[in-house]
């Protein structure tokens, strides 16, 4: 390689067309997945204070929103249920109620917008009265989520979502064996083509705070560190990914995204299944807060961060910026 002054790296940055030609990483609308929160009711669009521009919808307003997203060129949504407090219980049984908010919206979406890919979050924290992602057992005074009892609940939820017409179910509880339990239940019930997007590499993170406001899923005791991963134990990411692929995950996910680009890049290098990354609520809220103070430009920052997630190796990006990005790209 020749050196300066023969080689001038600024030469290829001198004009916009040159820079565009040489942009080897680009975001595309097709690869964005928009999260959507749905609860019972009608005409509801409750703003989520910590997530500007995001709402808790009822099925009717959710459907209007999804229609607008489809018109903007988005192909996929990820549904989360918000449960009325009087419908929560210790095991989260509302989660597998065939007429709960997520199931109803799924049916309506697949009826009205059959081309839209409907992905449903499969977890219990939005449905349990204690806010944990599964059934609690008491082991000698230490309460913890019971892994194997929770698997049965997760499989029931996935089957209920599949009956409603979900294209892909996305288990997020971080229970060992959850992908295998869901795959065998779906297959036994004839849903061989319902896919699984597994939250394979999900770290216990401070970045989920705004989501827990949005989903009303804050834990009533303890925290999620006995099931979500410790962010310092990075090699477990590859064990988790391999386990989920072995159990039948069609797509795997790394979450959060922007502070885990190294993990995304390494998972991309090691595995060949499609890879999603979840740009989570706290990452969204942080950019909004800074932009709201005039400290950075929201559009430029959102595009830069999500492009970085793509550059690290994510095929799909789950982001609350999806609709805005679709307009900006």
Catalytic residues: 202, 255
Q: Does 123 bind ligand PBG (CB under 6 A)?
A: yes
User: Residue 150 binds what, of Zn ion, ligand PBG, none (CB under 5 to 8 Å, by partner type)?
Assistant: none
The region of 52-60, 90-98, 144-152, 205-213 touching ligand PBG under the rule CB under 6 A is 205-213
Cβ of residue 192: shortest distance to ligand PBG, in angstroms?
26
β-bridge pairing 142-145 and 117-122: unpaired
Q: Is the CB of 170 or the CB of 261 nearer to ligand PBG?
A: 170
Helix (H) or strand (E) holding 101: helix 101-112
Cβ of residue 126: shortest distance to Zn ion, in angstroms?
7
The region of 68-76, 179-187, 207-215, 230-238 touching ligand PBG under the rule CB under 6 A is 207-215
Q: Does 281 bind ligand PBG (CB under 6 A)?
A: yes
CA distance 162 to 164: 5
Q: Identify the residue among 121, 216, 240, 323 touching ligand PBG (CB under 6 A).
A: 121
User: Residue 208 binds what, of ligand PBG, Zn ion, none (CB under 5 to 8 Å, by partner type)?
Assistant: ligand PBG
Cβ of residue 124: shortest distance to ligand PBG, in angstroms?
8
CA distance 140 to 137: 9
Q: Are 277 and 264 in contact (CB under 8 A)?
A: yes
- Token code pair at residue 152: 């049965």
Cβ of residue 28: shortest distance to ligand PBG, in angstroms?
22
Q: Identify the residue among 127, 203, 211, 260 touching ligand PBG (CB under 6 A).
A: 211
User: Residue 203 binds what, of ligand PBG, Zn ion, none (CB under 5 to 8 Å, by partner type)?
Assistant: none
CA distance 234 to 201: 10
Q: Does 123 bind Zn ion (CB under 5 A)?
A: yes
For the four alpha carbons of 97, 98, 101 and 106, in that order, the dihedral sign comes to: positive
Q: Does 125 bind ligand PBG (CB under 6 A)?
A: yes
Q: Are 173 and 123 in contact (CB under 8 A)?
A: yes
User: Residue 257 binds what, of ligand PBG, Zn ion, none (CB under 5 to 8 Å, by partner type)?
Assistant: none
Which residues have CB under 8 Å from 220's CB, separation 6+? 129, 130, 131
Mapped onto helix, strand or coil, the DSSP state of residue 231 is coil
* Length of the chain as a residue count: 329
User: Residue 121 binds what, of ligand PBG, Zn ion, none (CB under 5 to 8 Å, by partner type)?
Assistant: ligand PBG
Cβ of residue 184: shortest distance to ligand PBG, in angstroms?
22
The region of 121-129, 144-152, 246-254, 259-267 touching ligand PBG under the rule CB under 6 A is 121-129
Number of residues in contact with Zn ion under rule CB under 5 A: 3
Mapped onto helix, strand or coil, the DSSP state of residue 136 is strand
Phi, psi of 246 (to 5 degrees): -60, -35
Question: What pairs with residue 120 in β-bridges?
Answer: 79, 169
Tell me which residue has tokens 């072995």.
Answer: 246
Mapped onto helix, strand or coil, the DSSP state of residue 251 is strand
CA distance 30 to 27: 9
Q: Identify the residue among 261, 280, 285, 325 touching ligand PBG (CB under 6 A).
A: 280
Q: List the interface residues with Zn ion, window 131-150 (CB under 5 A).
A: 133
β-bridge pairing 275-279 and 251-255: parallel
Contact residues: ligand PBG, CB under 6 A: 121, 123, 125, 133, 172, 208, 211-212, 224, 280-281
């Amino acid at each position: 390689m020749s050196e300066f002054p023969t080689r001038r790296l600024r030469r290829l940055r001198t004009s916009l067309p040159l820079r565009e030609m040489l942009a080897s990483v680009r975001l595309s609308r097709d690869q964005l997945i928009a999260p959507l929160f749905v609860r019972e009711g009608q005409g509801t669009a409750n703003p989520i204070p910590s997530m500007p521009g995001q709402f808790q919808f009822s099925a009717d307003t959710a459907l209007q929103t999804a229609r607008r997203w489809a018109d903007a060129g988005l192909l996929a949504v990820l549904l989360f249920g918000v449960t009325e407090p009087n419908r929560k219980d210790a095991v989260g049984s509302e989660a597998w109620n065939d007429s709960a908010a997520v199931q109803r919206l799924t049916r309506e979406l697949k009826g009205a917008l059959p081309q839209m890919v409907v992905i449903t979050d499969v977890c219990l924290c939005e449905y349990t009265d204690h806010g944990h992602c599964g059934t609690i057992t008491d082991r000698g005074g230490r309460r913890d989520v019971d892994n194997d009892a929770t698997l049965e609940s997760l499989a029931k939820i996935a089957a209920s979502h599949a009956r409603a017409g979900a294209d892909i179910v996305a288990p997020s509880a971080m229970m060992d064996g959850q992908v295998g339990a869901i795959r065998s239940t779906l297959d036994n019930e004839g849903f061989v083509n319902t896919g699984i997007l597994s939250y394979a590499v999900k770290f216990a993170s401070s970045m989920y705070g705004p989501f827990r406001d949005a989903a009303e899923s804050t834990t009533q005791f303890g925290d999620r560190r006995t099931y979500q991963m410790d962010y310092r134990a990075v090699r477990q990411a590859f064990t988790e990914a391999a386990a989920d692929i072995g159990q039948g995950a069609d797509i795997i996910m790394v979450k959060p995204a922007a502070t885990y680009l190294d993990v995304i890049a390494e998972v991309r290098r090691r595995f060949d299944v499609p890879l999603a990354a979840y740009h989570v609520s706290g990452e969204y809220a942080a950019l909004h807060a800074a932009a709201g103070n005039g400290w950075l430009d929201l559009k430029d920052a959102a595009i830069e961060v999500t492009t970085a997630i793509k550059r690290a190796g994510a095929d799909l990006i789950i982001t609350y910026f999806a609709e805005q990005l679709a307009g900006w790209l």
